[in-house]
Structure 1
């Protein structure tokens, strides 16, 4: 079992009042003209994520920064929203571990970021965790990021993942099985492949 991120399709972010957020001037010229038209379902999901973000950032104490500095582009937009694993069932299971405080770590492969569509995690990053139905359930903040070979992931990190019996042996077995079935194209599982070990803290959970 693994907790690699499963990102939904790119969705337009909406502000809480339903108005589309402005495009920054430095990005406007670089936007492609052939973006697919978002579906009504996509728009509704984006609105739910944005509403969650507006509520979560205030309750987590992040709104005070916006009140002092003013709502800049990055502050108005919701952070990335994603779910764990490769199935709704796994997403719900791992999210549950986060909500109960057992899971404070997640692992991914460096190779997953090769395409440039998703940036590598970094300390201080915010993320919205979705459940298996795509509903926003939690806001987390990345507290540490390390990149190590698969066979150098340690007991402490394996325990932070909160899965199975929380041992390193269980972590290796579950993640090898997961990555063998979800390996990026052109890559093969190996004991020295680079793994992103990310630690995070729970800032807010949906009521």
Structure 2
């Protein structure tokens, strides 16, 4: 259930952009800690983070996977909305095929592919083990989303 603050923000966004109140809008925060939610959210607002990746296999069979045109309200660590983003490109690729450009668009660390790989090899294996009880390998597919901020 959406809290009142998020509901009001969503309605303000939909009204300001002349969208139907029935428009589907995802709600999430980046990362898996409060610190990461704030840090990564700040990078989005600064225009440094325009991409993100998730483990393809971590989506339930009946769960909607990210898609081009998808709208999402980004939350901070206090579950307060900070912006709305829209996916402008979505691709499914093997982890080991992520490029320097993908890494740069994620906007984290020193923006290098090496940093991206290290950070995500700390992240994905944990979730694959916890949620799927399988070992993550660099051949596993990820969903890479490129997005733009459409509302603040």
TM-score (norm 1): 0.69
Is the contact made by 2:58 and 2:132 (CA closer than 8 Å) also made in structure 1? no
The residue aligned with 1:33 is none
The residue aligned with 1:202 is 149
The residue aligned with 1:189 is 136
Q: Secondary structure of 1:122's match? A: coil
* Matches of 1:112 and 1:181, distance apart in 2: 11
Q: 1:81 aligns with which of 27, 43, 46?
A: 27
- Structure of higher CA gyration radius: 1
**Higher RCO (CA 8 Å, separation ≥ 6 residues):** 2
The residue aligned with 2:106 is 161
* Correspondence 1:142-161 to 2 at 5 A: 142-161=87-106
Q: Secondary structure of 1:84's match? A: coil
* Matches of 1:145 and 1:187, distance apart in 2: 25
Aligned residue-pair number:
150
The residue aligned with 2:119 is 174
Note the alpha carbon deviations across 1:145-164, whole angstroms, 9 max, x for none: 10111100011111000000
Q: Structure 2 regions of 5+ residues with no counterpart? A: none
Root mean square deviation, CA, Å = 1.4
* Matches of 1:114 and 1:146, distance apart in 2: 18
* Richer in strand (by share): 2
TM-score (norm 2): 0.92
Q: Secondary structure of 2:132's match? A: coil
Structure 1 position 188, deviation (Å): 1.3
